[in-house]
Amino acid sequence: MRSGWWLYVVLAGLCQIIVACSPQAPARGTQPASAPAAVADGPLVVVFGDSLFAGYGLEPSQGFAPALERALRRSGRPVTVVNAGVSGDTTAAGLARLGFTLDGLPRKPDLVIVGLGANDMLRGLSPAQTRANLGAILDELDRRKVRAALTTMLAAPNLGEDYAQAFNPIYPDLARQRGMRVYPFFLDGVAGRPDRLLPDGMHPNAQGIEDITARLAPRIAGDLPAAPGGAAGS
């Protein structure tokens, strides 16, 4: 376990474990973005998660969705990335709004990246229920024939070994069962670094988002179709 993750846990405990990630009046960049009026001919990606995806405390241009769109476009792909992150979302809340989110898009997305579970973990909710909710989200995406990927969340060590043993395998297990992509721990390399975090010690600042995006964008690019309706990368 990385020492940075341990520091993240300590800071989380000191910085309102639940309050900072609970439903609230939206901070800058946290409101769910509406679907773009027009989508480029290239792939449409939706980042569907909580405050880590929503861009909590950041300007609208600094969050994960716009940073990912910029990174993918720099590679020459006309990708559109929709921010469907909502601060405070648990997996249950995400499941409840999934259909509404998908129905509000201008067309079926080429990839939905699901990043939920942090608030379940911080509240000590049942890992079994987290697993069931994430499974239901993935089932609905599969029913709609939408390609999906997961970003990993890890249990805080202060929740105990039993909780971690039940929570941490959720993401690789779901990915293996469904033959889908799972990306590494979203805050890897950023957690525990004050120069990459907001003053709350929990959420990435603009540079932290850029670091996360630089790490994930090449993996995500490999999961996008080569052209509209084309085969996804390996």
CA distance 166 to 100: 30
Q: Domain limits of the chain?
A: 3-13+43-220
Q: What is the pLDDT of residue 214?
A: 97
Q: Is 200 a catalytic site residue? A: yes
50-59 tens-digit pLDDT: 999 999 999 9
50, 51, 87, 223: which is the annotated catalytic residue?
51
Please provide the DSSP assignment of 122-190 as one string.
HTT--HHHHHHHHHHHHHHHHHTT--EEEEE----GGG-HHHHHHHTTHHHHHHHHHT-EEEEETTTTT
Return the CATH fold of 3-13+43-220: Rossmann fold (3.40.50)
Q: Is 34 a catalytic site residue? A: no
Beta bridge partners of residue 150, listed in sequence order? 114, 182
Question: In the 8-state DSSP scheme, what is residue 19?
Answer: G
Angle formed at CA 52 by CA 160 and CA 113, multiple of 5 degrees: 100
Q: Is 51 a catalytic site residue? A: yes
151-187 tens-digit pLDDT: 999 998 899 999 999 999 999 999 999 999 999 999 9
50, 87, 110, 203: which is the annotated catalytic residue?
203
Higher model confidence: residue 189 or residue 9? 189
28, pLDDT greater than 80: no
Predicted TM-score (pTM) of the model is: 0.84
pLDDT, average across residues 74-98: 96
Q: Which is nearest to 178 in space by CA: 136, 138, 208?
A: 138
